[in-house]
Chains A and B, each alone.
Chain A
Amino acid sequence: MRGLSPDIKSRILNVFKFLVVLFIASLYIFPFAIVVINSFKKTGEVILNPLTLPKEFRISNYQEAAQRMRYFRSFFNTFVITLFSISAIVIFSSMTAYIFARKKWPINKIFFGIMVASMIIPFQAIMIPLVKIYGSMNMLNNMWTLIYMYLGFGTAFAVFLYHGFIKSIPFELEEAALVDGASIFQTFWRIVFPLLKPVTITLIILDALWIWNDFLLPSLILISAEKRTLQLSTFYFYGTFTSNYGLAMAALMLTIFPIIVVSLFMQKYIIAGIIKGAIK
């Protein structure tokens, strides 16, 4: 190495780094690759050798898995739950954060304090009484109860995120609008809310990943089969068809595929969202 110029040295080093990363990346991809190749096989073929490419691509695995796990129904359920939950969180949390940030009322300070502190409570400390309370009111097995709960669980973090951002917006803009006779409601929606767009995007990304992929809460709330979300129906399907490997792998692919496709388009926002959400 000694005789080489620093430039060549650093190039060699970079090639070495590249190979190290490539090796680790292939380890990371390996599980996904295994699922993909086996999702097209007959069960017998999977057992014989789970590491080779399929002899023939059995698309019928996908058709059968989709039918048995009620794929489209669950997809629709998950979509509706995620969409409504996120809309409610965005709308109500941004308004709440606005009033918390702009009005120095004692009640605002108290609620904001409780919300920030509550973020440390693990879900396990709430789930048992939650099921008891809402069960005793006959509100379980209802999609709207679930959406309401996502609003409740999502509020603290969302208010916290919006609050920090609103504080950094100068008040002059709103003042001008208020002087011109706009109500505080109009001022918020016409002037402040559009300025919150970066936070809103961050929040939508983080909450979409959370709600779309959530398992425990929906498993406690949604009981009947036709109400299941994708995570739930994949869980029950896999439990029933564990030994039917081809079908089971196809079911996993059906759940993974839409997320990967959407995330490829949203990649830039997702990464920015994770970082902003984490640094808070």
Chain B
Amino acid sequence: MNRCFSKFKVFTLFAGISTVAFLTVVILPFIYGIYLTFTNWDGIHSRYEFIGFLNYLKLVKDQVFKSSFLLTLKYAFFTVIFTNLIAFFLAYLLTSGIRGQNIFRTIFFTPNLIGGIILGFIWQFIFHNALPYLGQQLRIGIFSESWLATPEKAFWALVIVTVWQYSGYMMMIYIAGLVGIPQDLIESATIDGAGKFTLLTKVILPLMVPSFTVCLFLSLQRSFMVYDLNLALTKGGPFKSTELVAMHIYNEAFLSQNYGIGQAKAFILFITVAIITLVQVYLSKKAEVEL
């Protein structure tokens, strides 16, 4: 009994505050949120009813949600691929001993120090004012009108800014991976007659799989949750055409006051992110073992 009590005392002293904060801020709202998806709470009235799976049924028929969800998948696909390609390319160039390596690394990383809201506003100005001016002066057709005015181009604007922002972050992780490759491995492969290309595909890339695992995970997770950048750059427009799912959920809940449906959508997002990232980590780990 006494032992048990002293255990309890030690636990409370060391872990008490953080476990309470963690439970009341993350776990309790998460569980309560699942309950909310079965209600028709509107955010104003304190009374609401239990309506079973009605929210989920509505959600399946919700065309706006569907298109926002598909748009997010498309966005995730392109941003993850381009971010990682460019990040790896930059990391490869910036570990080959060129002049000013460190300054270049800092430059590419800088966007990650600044909040998405600020970055979004900067690029809004670029797409809205600077590039159209340039396009009109130099007669470059593609820039002559604001990219944010047409749905297709606004989507690509969002992709470009995301890639611009995150490639520097992922580049740092790839650089750490490349620097960590033992030099004697590369030397012995070179002595055995491996050319630059063979060296890259047969030695460097297989050893970089752990870095790819991390970068793919981070870029995937972020692409599903992006909100600030979306809000500041396109505000979901024109005509809701670039409303990614995180923003769609926010608007459904806090602007349209459909908290129950909003939360049901958020829960679908959670399931999607969980499945996709777990599958990705599983596949990457498998690749690590095989190579």
Residues of A whose CB lies within 8 Å of any CB of B are 14, 17-18, 20-21, 24-25, 28-32, 34-35, 38, 46-47, 49-51, 92-93, 95-96, 98-100, 103, 105, 107-108, 111, 114-115, 118, 120-133, 136, 148-149, 151-153, 155-156, 159, 184-185, 188, 209, 212-216, 220, 231, 234-235, 238, 245, 248-249, 252, 255-256, 259-260, 263, 267, 270-271, 274-275, 278-279
List 23 interface pairs A-B (beta carbons < 8 Å), by A numbering. A18-B98, A25-B104, A31-B123, A32-B122, A34-B126, A95-B13, A96-B19, A111-B15, A114-B27, A122-B270, A124-B225, A127-B250, A128-B33, A128-B263, A152-B24, A234-B121, A235-B117, A252-B121, A255-B118, A260-B110, A260-B113, A263-B110, A279-B214
Inter-chain CA distance A93–B238, complex, in Å, is 44
> A121 near B30 (CB under 8 angstroms)?
yes
Inter-chain CA distance A133–B243, complex, in Å, is 27
- In the assembled complex, B26 has its CB within 8 A of some CB on chain A: yes
> Which residues on the A side are within 8 Å of B218 (C-beta)?
278
> B133 near A51 (CB under 8 angstroms)?
yes
Chain A binder among B49-57, B146-154, B169-177, B181-189 = B169-177
Give 18 new A-B contacts, CB below 8 A, not counting A133-B28, A153-B26, A275-B176.
A18-B99, A21-B104, A38-B125, A96-B15, A105-B11, A121-B26, A122-B225, A125-B270, A127-B266, A131-B254, A136-B46, A152-B24, A185-B13, A213-B115, A215-B231, A234-B118, A234-B121, A260-B113
> Which residues on the B side are within 8 Å of A188 (C-beta)?
14
> B21 near A155 (CB under 8 angstroms)?
yes
Given A256-B118, A278-B218, are A129 and B22 also a contact pair (CB < 8 Å)?
no
Interchain nearest-CB distance for B122 vs A (Å): 5
Interface bits B249-291 vs A (CB < 8 Å: 1, else 0): 1100110000100110011011001100110000000000000
Q: Among the listed B19, B114, B176, B262, which residue makes an inter-chain contact with A128, where contact means beta carbons less than 8 Å apart?
A: B262
Q: Among the listed B10, B97, B168, B259, which residue makes an inter-chain contact with A99, where contact means beta carbons less than 8 Å apart?
A: B10
Given A51-B134, A213-B115, A231-B117, are A156 and B26 also a contact pair (CB < 8 Å)?
yes
> Which residues on the A side are within 8 Å of B273 (C-beta)?
120, 122
Q: Among the listed A25, A92, A95, A100, which residue makes an inter-chain contact with B107, where contact means beta carbons less than 8 Å apart?
A: A25
Given A126-B30, A130-B29, A216-B228, are A17 and B96 also a contact pair (CB < 8 Å)?
yes
Interchain nearest-CB distance for B219 vs A (Å): 11
> A278 near B214 (CB under 8 angstroms)?
yes
Interface bits B1-45 vs A (CB < 8 Å: 1, else 0): 000000100110111011101101111111011001000010100
> Which residues on the B side are within 8 Å of A256 (C-beta)?
114, 118
> B112 near A155 (CB under 8 angstroms)?
no
Inter-chain CA distance A18–B22, complex, in Å, is 48
Inter-chain CA distance A234–B117, complex, in Å, is 8
Interface bits B216-260 vs A (CB < 8 Å: 1, else 0): 001001001101100110000000000000100110011000010
Name the residue on A nearest B246 (C-beta).
A124
Inter-chain CA distance A128–B232, complex, in Å, is 21
> A50 near B93 (CB under 8 angstroms)?
no
Inter-chain CA distance A260–B113, complex, in Å, is 8
> B93 near A17 (CB under 8 angstroms)?
yes
- In the assembled complex, B94 has its CB within 8 A of some CB on chain A: yes
Q: Main SS of chain B's interface residues? A: helix
Inter-chain CA distance A50–B131, complex, in Å, is 9
Inter-chain CA distance A131–B27, complex, in Å, is 14
Inter-chain CA distance A274–B104, complex, in Å, is 17
> A275 near B173 (CB under 8 angstroms)?
yes
> Which residues on the A side are within 8 Å of B110 (C-beta)?
28, 32, 260, 263
> Which residues on the B side are within 8 Å of A185 (C-beta)?
13
Interchain nearest-CB distance for B177 vs A (Å): 9
Q: Among the listed A31, A111, A263, which residue makes an inter-chain contact with B19, where contact means beta carbons less than 8 Å apart?
A: A111
Q: Among the listed A31, A46, A136, which residue makes an inter-chain contact with B122, where contact means beta carbons less than 8 Å apart?
A: A31
> Which residues on the A side are within 8 Å of B82 (C-beta)?
none
Inter-chain CA distance A248–B218, complex, in Å, is 32
Inter-chain CA distance A32–B165, complex, in Å, is 12
> A129 near B29 (CB under 8 angstroms)?
yes
Name the residue on A nearest B43 (C-beta).
A132
> Which residues on the B side are within 8 Å of A152 (C-beta)?
21-22, 24-26
Among B21, B32, B253, which residue has the most Cβ atoms of chain A within 10 A? B21
Inter-chain CA distance A17–B90, complex, in Å, is 10
> Which residues on the B side are within 8 Å of A278 (C-beta)?
173, 214-215, 218
Given A133-B29, A153-B25, A231-B118, are A24 and B90 also a contact pair (CB < 8 Å)?
yes
Q: Among the listed A103, A156, A238, which residue makes an inter-chain contact with B22, where contact means beta carbons less than 8 Å apart?
A: A156
Inter-chain CA distance A152–B93, complex, in Å, is 40
Among A17, A128, A267, which residue has the most Cβ atoms of chain B within 10 A? A128
Closest 8 A-B residue pairs measured CB to CB?
A152-B25, A213-B115, A99-B14, A129-B29, A92-B18, A125-B270, A129-B33, A152-B21
- In the assembled complex, B130 has its CB within 8 A of some CB on chain A: yes
> A120 near B21 (CB under 8 angstroms)?
no
> Which residues on the A side are within 8 Å of B172 (C-beta)?
271, 274-275
> Which residues on the A side are within 8 Å of B33 (C-beta)?
125-126, 128-129
> A149 near B25 (CB under 8 angstroms)?
yes
> Which residues on the A side are within 8 Å of B104 (C-beta)?
21, 25
- In the assembled complex, B156 has its CB within 8 A of some CB on chain A: no
